[in-house]
Amino acid sequence: MKTQDVERGPLVRATLALPADGMPRAVEWGGPLTPYVVEEIVDDALHVGAGASLDLAVSESAADEWLARLRDVRKRLTRRGIDVHLHRATLTAEGLR
């Protein structure tokens, strides 16, 4: 793992789209990925519940260990009826502000 990944984690952009109720709404996060941030995203997605959709974009340089952790998150949320799209992307700290 790169030093940045160990200390702060890779960059992540997460968008949680709420179930369709006639008004398109979403919650977004952006910044360094940490175990705390992962749990915060999971908790929010579980609170919204089935029918929600979560897009997780992680920096292209993300270590395999982080991707494995996020794949586990995807499995956990999918079992609860939440659609999760996990992919690598070109992310910069400036672009996440």
Q: pLDDT by residue (tens digit) across 50-89?
A: 999 999 999 998 999 999 999 999 999 999 999 999 999 9
**Rounded to whole angstroms, what are the CA distances from 42 to 20, 70, 93?**
19, 10, 22
97 has pLDDT over 90: no
Q: pLDDT by residue (tens digit) across 16-26?
A: 988 776 556 77
How sure is the predictor about 9, in pLDDT bands with cuts at 50, 70 and 90?
confident
pLDDT confidence of residue 83: 94
The whole-angstrom separation of Cα 45 and Cα 84 is 10
Buried b (16+ CB within 10 A) or exposed e, 12-25: bbbebbeeeeeeee
Joined tokens for residue 33: 């990925």
Domains of the chain (ranges, CATH numbers): 3-96 (3.30.1710)
